[in-house]
Amino acid sequence: MIYLAGPCFTRAELDYNARLAGILSTYNTIWLPQNEVIVPEHNQAISIRQQCIGALKNASLVVAILDGADVDSGTAFECGYAYALGTEIYGLRTDIRRVSDSNSIDVNAMLSVCEHIFSKEQELFDAIDKLL
């Protein structure tokens, strides 16, 4: 199963996640939190976290959307948790903003746990095709 991590707070983010999940579903089963998480009336944060952690434990690959001036904090947590589990992590950063003067695709040092960070969707798809 591929766990797709990314921000899910705006209509644009939700739409992008859904589109990307649709493409990734041709490679493997996708777990997309915005579609899978059941939000109860009480203890929402605890329940959401537990559901996502459960899915991360079953994932063979995490694909993390790393766009934004600063990567979404939930996505950063999901990457860290996946790293602790030994799960492979592929990052996708299509954002043209850079966090340093480097010419490479760069993110916060703690997110360098992503085995590969791609700037183009097709590069990500090609890598997943080779992996799976």
pLDDT tens for each residue of 30-60: 999 999 887 767 778 888 899 999 999 999 9
Cβ atoms of 89 and 66 within 8 Å: the answer is: no
- Encoding tokens for residue 13? 């983010």
> What is the CATH code of the structural domain delimited by 2-131?
3.40.50.450
Sequence-ordered strand ranges (E) for the chain = 2-5, 30-31, 61-65, 88-92, 116-118
- pLDDT for 10: 93
- What DSSP state is assigned to residue 113? G
pTM of the model: 0.89
pLDDT class of 100 with cuts at 50, 70, 90: low
pLDDT class of 24 with cuts at 50, 70, 90: very high
